[in-house]
């Protein structure tokens, strides 16, 4: 009788250990296939949108600034005396894949409505090696042109559109990289607009990089070479810092523009000679339960 109980206890123990092992293995496999987090610190990286998604029912608020060129020297406080181009933006996530945003930039009093859709998310296991997201935007210039002798531009002439494909990979805990083919279309790029280009269609290839230097900060890089025009390319270098629920982004960039349309069609200074100080403040707000 005692021997039978011993066999029964051993059998039950083996079944229990096997069940625990299987459960642990399943959890381990599931964790290994989880989406990679924090490819970038925020949904925006210097000027460009990224593959970094928002959680469901989360609101992202960002305020962005660029000042005058550093060549203004100490007398003009290295560009700060020239005033700032400021952009406010709000982006709300309806779920983990889709978010919708709106922004307003001081340059040409420009309003932009944009959306991001996250097609593919990189996994820690490497089963999905990169993240892919899409962005589409439609904007309108609302500046006053009553000084013109001819009639002011109508809404159609003031309108422009942007599209961006974002392909990114987090190579390690320190290094992340994103490639962003971009296109912008102006219905009518009038000379009175604060842009340098005169064509309707602009094509560019954006590069974004992040190298983590501490647990809460990273060095950042942005380069946006033009593909179908002779305008100078956009260059930016900076640092991201997480602090108290905010992400602060401080950088030097060659363009005063802050939205996608003007980044491609606006002017850029010579890197090193006409860098401008810029900084962004990012904040995430949870607006409700799942």
Give the residue extent of every domain in the chain: 33-286
Q: How much is the pLDDT for 286?
A: 83
- CB-neighbour burial class of residue 147 (10 A; exposed 0-12, middle 13-18, buried 19+): exposed
- b/e code 29-62 from CB counts within 10 Å (16+ = b): eeeeeeebeebbbbbbbbbbbbbbbbebebbbeb
Q: Write down the pLDDT at residue 202.
A: 96
Report domain 33-286's class: mainly beta
Q: Average pLDDT over the chain, rounded to whole?
A: 87
Helix or strand (DSSP H, E) at 19? helix 2-32
pLDDT in tens, 35-85: 888 899 999 999 999 999 999 999 999 999 998 887 777 777 767 767 789
- Residue pair 113/146 in contact by the 8 Å Cβ criterion: no
Per-residue model confidence as pLDDT tens digits over 187-198: 999 999 999 989
Confidence of residue 32 (pLDDT cuts 50, 70, 90): low
């Amino acid at each position: 009788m005692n021997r039978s109980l011993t066999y029964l206890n051993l059998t039950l123990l083996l079944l229990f250990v096997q069940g625990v092992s299987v459960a642990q293995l399943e959890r381990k496999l599931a964790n290994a296939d989880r989406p990679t987090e924090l490819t970038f610190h925020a949904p925006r990286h210097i000027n460009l949108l990224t593959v970094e998604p928002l959680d469901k029912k989360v609101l992202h608020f960002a305020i962005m600034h660029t000042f005058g060129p550093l060549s203004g020297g100490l007398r003009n406080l290295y560009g700060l005396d020239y005033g700032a181009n400021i952009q406010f933006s709000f982006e709300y996530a309806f779920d983990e894949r889709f978010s919708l945003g709106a922004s307003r930039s001081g340059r040409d009093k420009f309003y932009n409505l944009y959306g991001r859709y996250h097609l593919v998310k990189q996994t820690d296991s490497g089963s999905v090696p990169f993240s892919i997201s899409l962005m589409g935007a439609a904007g309108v210039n609302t500046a006053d042109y009553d000084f013109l002798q001819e009639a002011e531009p109508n809404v159609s002439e003031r309108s422009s559109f942007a599209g961006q494909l974002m392909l990114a990979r987090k190579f390690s805990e320190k290094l992340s990289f994103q490639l962003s083919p971009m296109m912008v279309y102006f219905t009518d790029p009038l000379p009175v607009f604060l842009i340098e280009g005169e064509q309707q269609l602009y094509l560019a290839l954006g590069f974004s990089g992040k190298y983590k230097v501490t647990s809460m900060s990273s060095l950042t890089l942005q380069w946006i070479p033009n593909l179908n025009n002779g305008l100078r390319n956009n260059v930016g270098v900076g640092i991201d810092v997480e602090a108290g629920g905010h992400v602060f982004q401080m950088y030097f960039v060659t363009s005063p523009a802050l939205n996608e349309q003007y980044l491609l069609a606006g002017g850029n200074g010579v890197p090193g000679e006409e860098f401008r100080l810029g900084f962004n403040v990012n904040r995430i707000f949870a607006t409700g339960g799942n």
